[in-house]
A and B are shown apart, each in its own frame.
Chain A
């Protein structure tokens, strides 16, 4: 059974800092990994999708990497801003049994202090 872990559970940084969020998964047989942002009480906003054959994806100040063999992904946020404050979730889609579902971590709650 796929399990996804996100560390740390919460993170507080001053504005302007670069930061890294971590995601690990137990089963490396995946189609893809997706990073999401969730504001309090709201739905999920897709940030980046990395296919299993890719090593990284970039969008603006965000860069996500994937090391499938070690079961790890990182989300790098450059020059953080107060508007980046939210919970960040990673999710994987297995390539074998259970491929119909995304398996989520519990998220990292990020606070960027002005």
Chain B
């Protein structure tokens, strides 16, 4: 079975632009979460979606938004990019919402110039 897949793997954007990152969870997993990891830090929670509904939101500005589709894949959108948005964006999927193992994708490296 394929693991969590994210696309693209690398991305370079200019300040002020918008970006969309994509994630396909492990087959059968209904929960998708997004995390941001800056260099030298642990991942920081952005969103959790379960059964296509937002179940949790981290301390990120409204420029960040996400959605989950009927096939449980997900997109993360970031508007009006800032230099500080440069980071590794990680997607995690799990079978259920709470007490099951989380599996991460390889991440999308976003560089804002």
Residues on A close to B: CB < 8 A? Answer: 4, 31-32, 34, 36, 41-46, 49, 51, 89, 91, 93, 98-107
Q: Which residues of A contact B41 (CB under 8 A)?
A: 106
Q: When the two chains form the complex, which single residue of B97, B98, B104 contacts A44, counting CB atoms closer than 8 Å?
A: B104
Q: Which residues of B contact A102 (CB under 8 A)?
A: 33, 35, 43, 45, 92, 102
Size category, B interface: 20 to 34
**A100/B48 in contact, CB under 8 A:** yes
Task: Identify 7 new A-B residue pairs, CB closer than 8 A, beyond the known A42-B107, A44-B43.
Answer: A34-B101, A43-B6, A93-B98, A100-B55, A102-B33, A105-B42, A106-B42
Known A104-B42, A105-B42, A106-B40; contact A46-B56, beta-carbon cutoff 8 A: no
Q: When the two chains form the complex, which single residue of B6, B45, B103, B107 contacts A101, counting CB atoms closer than 8 Å?
A: B45
Residues on B close to A: CB < 8 A? Answer: 4, 6, 33, 35, 40-45, 48, 55-56, 58, 88, 90, 92, 97-99, 101-107, 109
**A99/B42 in contact, CB under 8 A:** no
**A104/B109 in contact, CB under 8 A:** no
**Closest residue of A by beta carbon distance from B46:** A101
Q: Which residues of B contact A45 (CB under 8 A)?
A: 104
Q: When the two chains form the complex, which single residue of A4, A46, A49, A99 contacts B104, counting CB atoms closer than 8 Å?
A: A46
